[in-house]
Amino acid sequence: MDKNQGYEIIKAVMLENGRGFALGHNPAAPSPYVTWACYDDKDGQRQYEWGHYGCDRAALEQDFAARVQEYRRLYNVGVKQTEAPGLYKYYSTQRPVDIGTFPKPPRNAPDEIVNYDQRVPIENGSFLAWGI
């Protein structure tokens, strides 16, 4: 995951309008937990702003969830993706995703499968994929 100001990003939610929120942790900081509003700039670099800092992880996790929920309510946008350690995005580059065409390790079933009508450029055009 990403780092910002010494804080390791432990969870991020990106919304359909390109905005999002992140939860970070830095055990050496006076306030070891933070939530930020964030967005990806024109160069694809994640930018963080409007931090809420604190010492209580549970309180900052609630702040993170509340910020996401309130923003979604105000701007009527859905979640585009959730990022956290242990979550991965797989792309099908050879054929549309179908039964038996992707790995299914125990306790790691896909959360969502999306097939595209044609191969589309992804990851800033670095390759083409049939689905995610």
pLDDT in tens, 6-45: 999 999 999 999 999 999 999 999 999 999 999 988 888 8
The model carries a pTM of 0.68
How many degrees, rounded to 5, is the angle at CA 46 between CA 119 and CA 85? 75
Q: Residues near 26 by Cβ (< 8 Å), separated by ≥ 6?
A: 5, 6, 7, 8, 32, 34
pLDDT in tens, 55-87: 999 999 999 999 999 999 999 999 888 877 655
pLDDT in tens, 80-120: 888 776 556 677 777 777 777 777 767 666 767 777 788 88
CA-closest candidate to residue 78, choices 22, 17, 27: 17
- Residues 49, 67: contact at Cβ < 8 Å? no
Q: State the Cα–Cα distance between residues 33 and 24, nearest whole angstrom.
A: 6
pLDDT at 86: 59
